[in-house]
Structure 1
Amino acid sequence: MIFSAQIKVMPLKDLLDPQGKAVLGGLANLGITSINDVRIGKQIELTIEADSKEAAHQIATEAATKLLANAVMEMFEVTIVG
């Protein structure tokens, strides 16, 4: 079966997010001052061939753990669709 995996990768909450801070400053320069914080991450979509939804989740989690997310600086969340 074919599954779609969506992996959301975000910086750890305890770490500074320089890209998010730059966007927050840009928003303030545009007069949008009601936003208190910005965190910038990435979304990765995988197409996985697996026997079950659970197997697809395991494959996506392995990919995120080994390559797609840096465990020292980022956390990730896997969602399987299909």
Structure 2
Amino acid sequence: MDAEHARCVDCSFLCLDCGHSWDGTYDIDITVDEYGHIAPVYYLDGRQSPRCPACENHEVRAIRRGRVQPARPHAT
């Protein structure tokens, strides 16, 4: 497996569980396995991340900044 370290600047993240979105700068270790599958692992302050700050879910998607907007409260 090949491993590469990259720096992600100004990323947006989207929680695949609750839909919450947020911005951040994370270190990324990218691993490519023998089949060519890419597996990024995100780190913030030396800890594996990101976790959704709203629901703590690990299933998040990194998206180019500006592609998602924070959710607005529903009108009642």
| TM-score calculated relative to the size of structure 2 | 0.30
Which has the larger share of strand? 2
Which has the larger share of helix? 1
